[in-house]
Chain A
Amino acid sequence: MFSFDFKPLHYEHPWSVSHEHRLSTLLKGDIKVAYLYEAPPKNTFRYRVYNMVQALNQSSRGFSASYFSPDEWSTIAAHIDEIDVFVVSRVRYTAELNQLLTRARNKGKRIFFDIDDFLFDPDYTHLIVDTLDLPSTEDTWNYWFSLISRIRASIQLCDAVITTNAFLAEKLTQYFGKPVHVVPNFMNEEQIGISNQIFQLKKDSGWKRDNDITLGYFSGTQTHNKDFEVIVSALAELFAADSRIKLRIGGHLAISEPIAKYTDRLELLPFCDFVNLQTSVGKVDINLVPLQENVFSNCKSELKYFEAAAVGTVTIATPIYTYSHAIEDGKNGFLSSSYDWLDKLSYIVAHLDEQPSIAESALKDCQERYWLKPQITALERIFSS
């Protein structure tokens, strides 16, 4: 594990801002973009709403943007003539949404739907439920069929779609026949701020680490058991072969049999906010991103790669669409097929001295592609057209 000291930062949700402040921010610019989201804010909100709004408000081309939950839409409706663009972020269909968007369309406003997951084709509901390892209960089926069908209905109310990668964009184009734009997930100012400090600390220390080799798996949610299963047998062999190997787990995970016995080498992190999470990621020697290879996983973004790259931690990932496009194997990270994890991890462990140059390459790559600034232009282009 990397040896650096970084005191936890005081954290408050940066998006917890009063309605009045958000409304006045929205109405400031020449081109006003209102993001509609569903409460409560989760990861999708942060990447697809908060970060986008932060980027647009830094634009020098007269954009202003803000975000509003369903209980605030009536206020938004009162300002409908002033707003230029509506972006509906993964909001499920409701009568209120339909009414607001119908009025907006009749007034010639542009309406986009933003989506970061393959959640619009009910034919794939079972595959998604299975991929997420959810129990087959009435509640599960009711929730997921409803979610997917309602998202599909919401997309149909919009003129165009914004999504995270070309693979998902192609699926959306095929399904809806609407224009689709790609804006990848990217780091916000808060993440960049803490990450820069951690990267510099690691660099200044000469990438100093202790004798343990700590792998990190930051699942975040409870729905990654089957993804982790991809590497269980490789991890078990690695644990057995090398007593220095430890595993740090961030998030909920069902630890399966072959590695459950290594309790003294498993570290379960308590819940952590997204800013201080960067410290935990920065500490580990290798960031693990195993994924099942199917249509749902292939739509996922590369955020686990750039969150780790920002703090100088090297990622090894399953080569789903986004990771195989983001990572050049051995240069700015590693890619591993389902059968290659043990060999690849053994190689990385035996060549830890190569990590600093890989970490530097990954950071440079991410600053060009997944930092806030480069994406401002992408957003300006979409909303100006």
Chain B
Amino acid sequence: MSEKSNPFKGIPSLFSRSSKNQDAATPPVVIADGRQLIADSKFFDAAWYLLQNPDVAASQIAPIDHYFTCGEKEGRNPGPDFDVAWYTKKYPEFAATKVGALEHYLRHGHLENKSSTLAEYRTKLENDPRMFEERVALKGAPLKVYTSPPLTRRINLIVDTMAFNELSTHESSIQRTIHRGLKVSVLLAEATGSSLRFVTRVARAQVSGFKKYLLANNLRIPSQVEFVYSDYVIASASLPVSRWDIFITVDEANTASVRKSIPEKGIFVVAPSGASEATQSPQGHADDEDDDVSDLIHDLSRSCASVFV
């Protein structure tokens, strides 16, 4: 098999603790015995299993026998790198087969690019080109919201990530775009007397450096800021919304997601600024960008007035 056509290229071996009968140079063959397949896989860690399950340690039953006969059925994990509950929930189709979750993964799942844990799935979504369509579908799914009585006017910024210590350097175009969304959100909240809610969907916001970032960009510190991590992979947090919520988006995927849940008049899509961005420095922004944002805030404030009624 040529390297180019090898579909398993880049996939780590599932059999790091190779069977004594196997030649290390030859790829693993499918072993008919599920118990042996699991025992030989890198996902079964007998020491870890005993540590996590003191009752098994006390029972004197061999860990592999316990896991294979009843442990997995009881929802116990074979090691730190395989999550039985997550795999079962994520790939419910495997339940129709007669084998357990780990055995299914070893025989079929890994060949189908399935993931053994949520963490691995998340990494693949962000980095594996084969997962692109799935990623787009998940990110474009309707933002999880529910209606709650209106209490305060609120400006919401929806972005993938937010790390203020990194944002202050504006190195990448993504950071510059997020920076622009932040600046518009903070200024708009100030102009309309609204509170702020920053929602990240790929990673939890790194909030340290927030005040320094605001000061470096001549922005006032808002009185109330809420940070919410609404993980797009597992749709972890549902956002309370009312007719007094304005949503600001800066990228296509999150805009698509917000549009499915929020009325159009409550969504402001902030496009990246023009060539002036290239002149931005860590200390602040070029005057022409300030003018640009100032005009934008003026326009958006007027739009907000029709929403905040």
> Contact residues of A with B, CB < 8 Å?
123-124, 126-127, 130, 229-230, 232-234, 237, 258, 292-295, 337-343
Interface residues of B in 56-97 (CB under 8 A from A): none
22 contacts between A and B (CB under 8 A): A123-B149, A124-B148, A126-B146, A126-B147, A126-B240, A127-B148, A127-B240, A130-B146, A229-B229, A237-B206, A237-B208, A292-B226, A293-B224, A293-B226, A337-B224, A337-B225, A339-B210, A339-B225, A339-B227, A341-B207, A342-B207, A343-B208
Q: Is B298 an interface residue (CB 8 A)?
A: no
Measured between beta carbons, the chain B residues less than 8 angstroms from A230 are 227
Measured between beta carbons, the chain B residues less than 8 angstroms from A233 are 204-208
Known A-B contacts A338-B225, A338-B226, A339-B227; A124 and B204 likewise in contact (beta carbons under 8 Å) = no
Q: Which of B207, B226, B227 has the most CB of A within 10 A?
A: B207
Interface residues of B in 207-258 (CB under 8 A from A): 207-208, 210-211, 224-227, 229, 238, 240
**Interface contact B205-A130, CB-CB below 8 Å:** no
Chain A residue with minimal CB distance to B147? A126
Q: Is B275 an interface residue (CB 8 A)?
A: no
Measured between beta carbons, the chain B residues less than 8 angstroms from A294 are 151, 240
Measured between beta carbons, the chain B residues less than 8 angstroms from A130 are 146, 238, 240
Known A-B contacts A338-B227, A339-B225, A339-B227; A234 and B148 likewise in contact (beta carbons under 8 Å) = no
**Interface contact A234-B208, CB-CB below 8 Å:** yes
> Contact residues of B with A, CB < 8 Å?
146-149, 151, 204-208, 210-211, 224-227, 229, 238, 240
A297 → B minimal CB distance (Å): 11
Chain A residue with minimal CB distance to B151? A295
Measured between beta carbons, the chain B residues less than 8 angstroms from A126 are 146-148, 240
Chain A residue with minimal CB distance to B146? A126
Measured between beta carbons, the chain A residues less than 8 angstroms from B240 are 126-127, 130, 294
Q: Which of B148, B149, B151, B224 has the most CB of A within 10 A?
A: B148
Measured between beta carbons, the chain B residues less than 8 angstroms from A343 are 208, 211
**Interface contact B151-A338, CB-CB below 8 Å:** no
What CA separation (Å) do A339 and B210 show in the bound complex? Answer: 6
What CA separation (Å) do A335 and B160 show in the bound complex? Answer: 29
What CA separation (Å) do A230 and B229 show in the bound complex? Answer: 10
In the A-B complex, the 7 residue pairs with the closest CB atoms: A339-B210, A342-B208, A339-B207, A127-B148, A123-B149, A233-B204, A126-B146
Measured between beta carbons, the chain B residues less than 8 angstroms from A293 are 224, 226
Measured between beta carbons, the chain A residues less than 8 angstroms from B205 are 233
Chain B residue with minimal CB distance to A226? B237
B185 → A minimal CB distance (Å): 14
What CA separation (Å) do A229 and B237 show in the bound complex? Answer: 11
Chain A residue with minimal CB distance to B238? A130
Q: Which of A292, A341, A342 has the most CB of B within 10 A?
A: A342
Measured between beta carbons, the chain A residues less than 8 angstroms from B204 are 232-233, 258
What CA separation (Å) do A303 and B210 show in the bound complex? Answer: 30
Further contacts, 4 of them, CB under 8 A, given A127-B148, A339-B211, A341-B207? A126-B147, A234-B207, A339-B207, A339-B225
Measured between beta carbons, the chain B residues less than 8 angstroms from A341 are 207
What CA separation (Å) do A2 and B1 show in the bound complex? Answer: 65
B147 → A minimal CB distance (Å): 8
What CA separation (Å) do A294 and B195 show in the bound complex? Answer: 11
Measured between beta carbons, the chain B residues less than 8 angstroms from A337 are 224-225
Chain B residue with minimal CB distance to A238? B208
Measured between beta carbons, the chain B residues less than 8 angstroms from A295 are 151
Q: Which of A123, A233, A292 has the most CB of B within 10 A?
A: A233
B232 → A minimal CB distance (Å): 15
Measured between beta carbons, the chain A residues less than 8 angstroms from B207 are 233-234, 338-339, 341-342
B148 → A minimal CB distance (Å): 5
A197 → B minimal CB distance (Å): 37
A137 → B minimal CB distance (Å): 14
What CA separation (Å) do A135 and B71 show in the bound complex? Answer: 26
Measured between beta carbons, the chain A residues less than 8 angstroms from B211 are 339-340, 343
Chain B residue with minimal CB distance to A292? B226
What CA separation (Å) do A254 and B147 show in the bound complex? Answer: 26
What CA separation (Å) do A111 and B32 show in the bound complex? Answer: 75
Measured between beta carbons, the chain B residues less than 8 angstroms from A342 are 207-208
What CA separation (Å) do A341 and B148 show in the bound complex? Answer: 28
A343 → B minimal CB distance (Å): 7
Measured between beta carbons, the chain A residues less than 8 angstroms from B238 are 130
Chain B residue with minimal CB distance to A133? B237
Chain A residue with minimal CB distance to B207? A339
Chain A residue with minimal CB distance to B240? A127
Chain B residue with minimal CB distance to A342? B208
Measured between beta carbons, the chain A residues less than 8 angstroms from B151 are 294-295
A380 → B minimal CB distance (Å): 36
Chain A residue with minimal CB distance to B214? A339
Measured between beta carbons, the chain A residues less than 8 angstroms from B147 are 126
What CA separation (Å) do A157 and B207 show in the bound complex? Answer: 47
What CA separation (Å) do A339 and B204 show in the bound complex? Answer: 13
What CA separation (Å) do A352 and B159 show in the bound complex? Answer: 38
